[in-house]
Structure 1
Amino acid sequence: MGIAYLQFKLAWRLFRKPPSGLSEVESERVQCVARRQADLEQQVLNTMEAAGVVVPDRVVQEHFAQIRSRYAVGDEFHADLADNGLDEAMVHDALYRELRVEAVIEKVAARTPPASLVDAELYYRAHPASFDRPEARRLSHVLVTYDTAAERVTACKVLSHVRSQALSSARFGEAALQYSHCPTAMQAGSLGTVRRGQLFPDIEAVAFALAQDQLSDIVESPVGLHVVRCDEILPWGPVPFDEVAPRIVAALTERRRESNCRAWLRSLSACDAAEVAEVP
C-alpha cells in the first residue's frame, strides 16, 4: 500500500499527471524513486526520534483535500485510486505516515543550534559582494521622436517647454501623458528603478549625474529626444551589517538545519548497512 501511494504521489509531483498517464520510461522512474523513498521513510520511523510523534487528523485531512482538488470530478479521483490499488482510507493512512516522517525530520532539524551574530558577521565580511547595493535611481522621462529635421526642431521646442513648466513630479507626469511618445507616458513617464547598464549610454550618463528632483537638459538617444527627471536617488554601496544581520542569521541557521538533517538521514543508511554486514 505504501509503495502504491508513493507511486501515485510521485507521478503527480514529477510529471504532473496520474500514474495511468505515464509513459513506460516515466513509470520506471516513478517506481524506482518510490522504492527508495519507502525504504528511507521506514528507516526514519524506526528511530528513537519517531517515538511519540503524532500528526493531528486535521492536518491529514487538509493534505487529502489538496490531492482531491487535482481532479475536476470525484469519479476521476476514485477511478485513479482504484487503478493504483488504493482507496480513500489507504490514502489517509499513507498520508499520516508521510506527514509523521516529515514531523520526525523537523524534530531532528529543531535540535540544530541557531547561527550567532558572530557567525553572521564572519559570513558578511567574507562575502562583501553579496551585500553591495548597486547604484540605482527612480527615473521618469518624456520622449519625443522625430523623422525629419523639421520634426526634430519641433521636438526640441516641446521638450524645452516641458523643462520650463514641469518642474514638480506631478507636473512632469502630466507632461509625459500629454507629450511623450513612450509607452511609459501612461505611467506618468516612470521608468521605475533603474541601475547602471540598463539605459542608452548617453541617457545613463545624464540621468546618473542628476540631483534628486532635477530635470536634465534635452538629451538624444537612438530613439529620439528625452528630458529625464530623477525622482529618487536610492541608497547604494555596502549594506550595513545591522540591516542584514537577521537575514544572514536565518539563512545560516536554515543551511545548518538542512545539513544536519542530511547527515542524520545518511547515518540511518549507514547503520542499516552495518547491521546487514554483522549478520552471520
Structure 2
Amino acid sequence: MMKKKVICLLAALILPLLLPPSLARSVIIERVVAIVNDQVITLTELQERAILIRQATGNPNIPLKEILKHIIMETIQVQRAKELGLEVPDEVIEDYIKNFKRENRLTDEAFQKLLREWGIHLEAYKNEIKRRILISKLVNIEVKSHIAVPEEEVREYYEKHKDKLYLLSAKAKIADIFLPWGGDRETTLKIAQSIYEKIKLGKSFKKMAALYSRGPYAQKGGEMGWVRKGELVEDLDHFIFSPETKAGDVKLVETPQGVHIVKVLERQNRNYIPFEQVKKEIEKKLYSQVAEKRYKAWLDELMKKAYVKVLL
C-alpha cells in the first residue's frame, strides 16, 4: 500500500514532464528531497525551513542535510499528531504572533520587515509555529503525561548532592567601627586602641560606633547585618569565623584601608539549604532528564515505523 502511494506521488511530480510544451509551461516543477510515508518534502520547503531553523538556533552554517533530518523527524511527529486528531486553532497562532511582536516591541510594519529580512513569507512562519505547537501537544500527551518523579528519588538526589550543590557557608551577624588611616597612621591607631579599650571595659559598642565610626553603618550602631565566610577581607574573615571566636567577642583588626573594631553578635556554622526549599527545583531537573530519555525512545520508535526515503 505504501509503495503504491509513493509511486502515485512520484507520478504526480513526473507527469508534467510528459505534457505538451503548451501545458507544461503553466506547471512549476519542484525537486523532491525526501519522502516521509505519503508526504513529500520539496527543496523549496527545505530552503524556507532552513532559514527559520538557522535563525532560531543562531547558527547560519547548519548543513542542509542536517536540517532535512530535523524536518523528517518533525514531519513524522506532525503526521502522528494528525492521526490522533490534534489541531492548532488559527487564533492560537495569531496569539503567538501577537505575543512575539509585543515582547520584541514590533509594529505590524516592523514585523513584516523582519520576515522580509529573513527571506520568508508570513504563511511559512505561521506553519512553523503551528508545527511547534502541534508537536508540543503531541509530546505532552504521548510522553510527558506518563512521567512522574517519586519523592524518594527527589530526596535521594538531594542527599547525594547536598555537599556540592546545597551547602551554605558559615555566616555571622557583626557590628563594626571603622577608622580610615588618613594622613597620620599612628594617631589613627591610638584612637582606635582607646575606643577598643573603652568597649572592653564595658562601654556601649553602639554608642561608640555612633560617636567615632567613619563607616557606612555608624548611625546603626555599627551593625552590618549578616555576612558569609569569604565576603570580607581576609583579616576580618579570619577573626569572625575562627573556631575560637564566640558571639560577643570583640577585636581590633588592622587592614590596608584602616582600623576595624569588630564585634560578633551571632554566629551560625555552615549548614544546608532545607530540602523543602529546593524540592521543586530538583523535581523539575529529574523530570527533564527522564522526559529527554523517554522522548528519544518514543521518537526512535516512530522513526522505525515510518517509511523514509532521502533524495538529497
Asked whether the two chains share a fold, i.e. TM above 0.5, the reply is: yes
1:59-110 per-position Cα deviation (integer Å, ceiling 9, x unaligned)? 4233212443546554343234245553434422331222111222222332
Aligned CA distance change for structure 1 residues 224 and 104 (closer, same or farther; 3 Å): same
Unpaired runs of at least 5, structure 1: 16-25
Matched ranges for 1:1-280 at <5 A: 1=45, 4=48, 7-8=51-52, 10-11=54-55, 13-15=56-58, 27-29=60-62, 34-47=67-80, 51-69=84-102, 70=104, 72-82=106-116, 84=118, 86-130=120-164, 131-146=166-181, 147-157=184-194, 164-167=203-206, 175=210, 179-181=213-215, 190=224, 192-195=226-229, 197-208=230-241, 210-211=245-246, 214=248, 216-230=250-264, 232-234=266-268, 236-238=270-272, 244-245=278-279, 247-272=281-306, 275=307
Quick one: percent identity of the two aligned structures? Answer: 16
Report which of the two structures shows the higher radius of gyration computed on alpha carbons. Answer: 2
Counterpart-to-counterpart distance in 2, 1:242 and 1:84: 47
The 8 Å contact of residues 54 and 61 in structure 2, kept in 1 or not, is answered as: no
Counterpart-to-counterpart distance in 2, 1:60 and 1:8: 16
Structure with the larger helix share: 1
Counterpart-to-counterpart distance in 2, 1:49 and 1:134: 54
The equivalent residue for 1:22 is: none
Aligned CA distance change for structure 1 residues 153 and 36 (closer, same or farther; 3 Å): farther
SS of the residue 2:254 aligns to: strand
Aligned CA distance change for structure 1 residues 138 and 109 (closer, same or farther; 3 Å): farther
> Higher mean Cα deviation, 197-206 or 226-235?
226-235
1:204-248 per-position Cα deviation (integer Å, ceiling 9, x unaligned)? 232125555x36222223332112344554573355656655544
Aligned CA distance change for structure 1 residues 8 and 185 (closer, same or farther; 3 Å): farther
Aligned CA distance change for structure 1 residues 175 and 267 (closer, same or farther; 3 Å): farther
> Higher mean Cα deviation, 99-108 or 124-133?
124-133
Counterpart-to-counterpart distance in 2, 1:85 and 1:114: 43
Counterpart-to-counterpart distance in 1, 2:74 and 2:219: 56
1:10-65 per-position Cα deviation (integer Å, ceiling 9, x unaligned)? 42x344xxxxxxxxxx5333856643432221121122686232335454233212
1:146-194 per-position Cα deviation (integer Å, ceiling 9, x unaligned)? 1521222123345667883344xxx79x739x7334x677997637531
Counterpart-to-counterpart distance in 1, 2:167 and 2:210: 36
